[in-house]
Chain A
Amino acid sequence: MAEKKQGVKKQRMKKQDIAKPTVILKEEAYSVIGKPIPRVDAKAKVTGEAKYAADIEVADMLWGAITRSPHPHARIIHIDTSKAESLPGVKAVITGKDFGGFRWGWSRETRDEEPLATTKVRYLYEGVAAVAAIDEDIAQEACDLIEVEYEPLPGVFDPFEAMKEGAPLVHEDRKGNICVEYHWNFGNVEKAFAESYLVREDTFQTPRMAKGYIEPPAVLAYWPDSTHLTVIPAKGSPYFPYRILSNCFNLPLSNVRIIQPFIGSDFGGTKNDMVSCDFSAPMLSKKSGKPVKIVYTQFDELTTCLRRHPMWVTMKTGVTKDGRLKAIQTKVISDGGAYTRMSPLSNFLTGICMGLPYKLPNFKTDVFCYFTNNPSSAAMRGHGIYHTRFAGDVQMDMIAEELGIDPVEMRLRNAIENPKPGKIYETINKLHLATCGVEECIEKAAQAIQWEEKKKAERVKGSKAYGIGFACGTYLSGTKLSGHNACAAMVRICEDGSVNYVTGATDVGQGSDTVMCAMVAEVLGIGLEDIDIKRVDTAHTPVDPGTYGSRVTVLAGEAAINAAKDAKRMLLEAAAKEFGVKPEEMNIKNKKAFVKANPEMSIPWARLVRMACYTTPGMVIIGRGQSSRGISTYGLADFTTGIGDIGTNYSFTAQAQEVEVDLETGVVKCTDNSVIAHDCGFPLNPPAVDTQVVGGAYHPGVGAALYCEFEMDKGLTLNPNLVDYKLPRAYEAPMTKVIHVITNDPFGPFGAKEASEGSTCTAAPAVINAIHHATGVWIKDLPAKPEKVFWALKEKREKGKK
């Protein structure tokens, strides 16, 4: 009976979702969006007015610092803070005990981490105590005075040690050090492999990576009174600390105020989840009665903050003689680090999108994530998908080579066609696409880089070899997760015609504030300059899940449109009265409300607003908007079976990249022959999409391909500074071209889908494929550092001699 209800419910939701796509006007009909829109925050940022967390000071502020464990795995026997407390200038000292056993985690089942460790440390430099003092140096000195007695324990430092029989346990209650595992099976891979013309299996490895943002974590916390907490953190998802701190300090959500400063990039993980400073500052403030600020150093960031999972992806692929995919089977082993954090999601994502961007009839995956005594792993741009897409798109070139098929041709043969309007493409695990521009992306990218000519061109010039590589990517937008994924917006019309846009969504640099304002302006028929956006303040803004899973533009954007429509409705009702017509017979454009049938009958925006607000019955105009797609149960992904939609819609990318390989040294450089064709549905602000694709995605992707990797030695990070940990700089930046492929997705605001996160996933395979094209060697483990490439070339030369 209950099941039946369920079914009925699903049915209804499905109808609603499919039936009511966002209305899309013709592009030329738009007056604000779809054109270059200057960022609403650009002036503040370029004049230094923009305040980031570390820039903010309040009266009587103390500085905090954290005492960290010198052991990657040890029992805490005793902590003596007396020496620190008696140091002049020290105002408060806390240990994990002050949090009364509070633990938090990604979901109720995974609350395995403490703000500061009380009984056991599980990774090197884990926080065990914190100090607040009148200045930073005193706080640091006091930290050194805290005496902690440890009983060191043997540790495990990679998943292969962790999985061994009798390996030390990172969490006593987690047998076998298993953090999370998934086993999904769609279709019949065994049968498909048996029928395949060619079956190939390879193991690929992706490294432990830093997020790469330049702004280290920072937080300022104070208690206006004993029952209200205010926190100004460098967090891209302020409603994470909002909820977590309310639990931690046992306060109603109404009393937790998170004020959003400008954010120096996010990229997932640390900046939407918590780190010890985010708990310690409020606790130190509570204890000292003064505001407390903690700013991490780059060393803290690079040694203790969340990283990209290192993963070992074994991929078995079967194809027909003409190169069409018949089946893929993956085994993924990943290093989750010391705590669960977002590992359940990261590892889930390695499989959920395997049915994209290529048609895949059979798919089986087994994913194992292990706890180790390394710093925790978590979300990072291209979250999860990046690892398996790298494996998939490199292996596709390997197969193409074996079959003698051109890599671009091979991709075209497998690419999912763009569904006809109104039609939906369903992957084997029931992801639903209304649009898919991957074919067009492939064609445009290949054409722009002159694929045919380039691939025939002479490769070796002196000691240098040149090659081009191709890869495709995909990413979900508007993450669908159960629970807290609804969001809302308010459009407040001021009596003088100016407008406040109020959202809970955060712009961490991707430009969402600007496109939100643009969409509101578009709907209201006014200019961008008429709209002021408020930065998030949980005391005033509607709750929003946060900036992750490429959800802001698509979901918060839908809320923005709905809020603007709501306000517009109220205004038109007033206008309609004036002209004695029905509201639906009127519209607003270029700051004028007019009767559609007779545009002469019109009233300017300012007067319209005043009239609506003042004349009886005057009204206070606040438009409200919702987006419920994020929690729509239609196809909501099921973690245990891997079935269902994780995204509201899906973006697609094709990338072509040329590399130059120094055959004597192994140094690889990406040249300016670089093209990214990207289907983000509809580019609401084209230059912003470009910067996102190039900077937020492609360029870090080049870093992942060539430079970025934490070198570890038994839990110790050997390159904990930005000299030894290489982030690509301006000189290494290829002057990439971006091509927009427009598909106008019915489930995105004005046809938009996520911009760029998918492009994070294409750079690495494109570069590796290009290195192969140039030199004939395959680099299966990232990054392709000079030494690695050098030995591979040497081995190949020696094989050649024999």
Chain B
Amino acid sequence: MQMEGKFTLKAPIQKLWDTLLDPETLLSCIPGAEKIERIDEKTFDCVVKQKVGPISVKFKFKSILSKVEPPTHIEVDGEGEDIGKAGHFVQKSVVDLRQIPGGEVEVSYRTDATIVGKLAMFGDRIMRAKAKKVEEEFTKALQERLKNVV
């Protein structure tokens, strides 16, 4: 399941970078995020709750910053599973920050996520629709948050 997009913000790139990597930011922006803890330089411990109608899942997973090039490029690998064993989840995201004229920064992201197990019995119809929503909410929240960076 691939998702990508971009948005621009008016803020100093370094500040955006710092906020972006701040667990606090992610916690407040990722829909359903219950816990995002930085356990070392590269690793985050996360718990994210998601709900599709009657179906609720709670993914416990580790996100590892597999590649970090401040202040322009991050790669994150996540893997974990639902505590109720409804599914196993693997995800890789790449985020690029690019200075563009007018003191603006273009934030572009590419995410590739796979969910297997019981949740996948559904086929991908519902899951893709849900993922699309999560993506929209996340980027919206993130933009809100980053606006206030300035």
**Chain A interface residues (CB < 8 Å from chain B):** 70-71, 124-125, 144, 152, 299, 711, 713-714, 716-721, 723-724
Contact = CB atoms under 8 A, between A and B. Distances in A.
B123 A719 contact: yes
Contact of A721 (B1, B85, B90, B123): B123
Contact of A70 (B116, B123, B124, B125): B116
B121 interface: yes
Given A70-B88, A152-B79, A721 B114 contact: no
A602 B123 CA distance: 70
B79 A716 contact: no
Nearest to B121: A299
Contacts of A124: 116
Nearest to B81: A70
A70 B121 contact: no
Contacts of B79: 152
Interface of B: 1, 79, 81, 85, 88, 90, 114, 116-117, 120-125
Contact of A713 (B81, B85, B114, B121): B114
Nearest to A717: B120
B85 A716 contact: no
Nearest to A723: B123
Contact of A724 (B114, B117, B123): B123
A144 B116 contact: no
Nearest to B115: A716
A70 B119 CA distance: 12
Given A152-B90, A719-B123, 12 more contacts: A70-B88, A70-B116, A152-B79, A713-B124, A716-B114, A718-B123, A718-B124, A720-B121, A720-B123, A721-B123, A724-B123, A724-B125
Of residues B79, B117, B120, B121, which shows the largest number of chain A Cβ atoms within 10 Å of its Cβ?
Answer: B120
Nearest to B124: A718
B67 to A, nearest CB: 15
A713 B81 CA distance: 19
What are the 4 closest A-B residue pairs judged by CB atoms, nearest first?
A: A70-B88, A724-B123, A144-B85, A718-B124
28 contacts: A70-B81, A70-B116, A70-B117, A71-B90, A124-B116, A125-B116, A144-B85, A152-B79, A299-B121, A711-B124, A713-B114, A713-B124, A714-B114, A716-B114, A716-B116, A716-B120, A717-B120, A718-B123, A718-B124, A719-B123, A719-B124, A720-B121, A720-B123, A721-B122, A721-B123, A723-B123, A724-B123, A724-B125
A713 B1 contact: yes
Contacts of B120: 716-717, 720
A719 B124 CA distance: 7
For the residues of B in contact with A, the DSSP-based class is mixed
Contacts, number: 33
B23 to A, nearest CB: 24
A724 B127 CA distance: 14
Contacts of B1: 713
A745 to B, nearest CB: 46
A70 B120 CA distance: 11
Contacts of B117: 70
A734 B114 CA distance: 39
B117 to A, nearest CB: 6
Contacts of B85: 144
Contacts of B90: 71, 152
A230 B122 CA distance: 37
A748 to B, nearest CB: 45
Contacts of A713: 1, 114, 124
A716 B121 CA distance: 11
B9 to A, nearest CB: 31
B59 to A, nearest CB: 13
Given A70-B88, A144-B85, A721 B116 contact: no
Contacts of B114: 713-714, 716
A719 B117 CA distance: 13
Contacts of A721: 121-123
Nearest to A125: B116
A723 B125 CA distance: 11
A796 to B, nearest CB: 29
Contacts of A717: 120
Nearest to A298: B121
Nearest to B112: A714
A721 B126 CA distance: 14
A454 B93 CA distance: 56
B110 to A, nearest CB: 15
A672 B79 CA distance: 52
Nearest to B1: A713
Contacts of A718: 123-124
Contacts of B125: 724
Nearest to B84: A144
A144 B121 CA distance: 16
Contacts of A71: 90
B68 to A, nearest CB: 21
Of residues B1, B85, B116, B122, which shows the largest number of chain A Cβ atoms within 10 Å of its Cβ?
Answer: B116
Contacts of A714: 114
Nearest to B2: A713
A150 to B, nearest CB: 10
A144 B88 CA distance: 12
Contacts of B122: 721
Contacts of A711: 124
Contacts of B121: 299, 720-721
Nearest to A303: B120
Contacts of A125: 116
Contacts of A724: 123, 125
B82 to A, nearest CB: 10
Contacts of A716: 114, 116, 120
Of residues A152, A717, A718, A724, which shows the largest number of chain B Cβ atoms within 10 Å of its Cβ?
Answer: A718
A716 B88 CA distance: 12
A713 B115 CA distance: 10
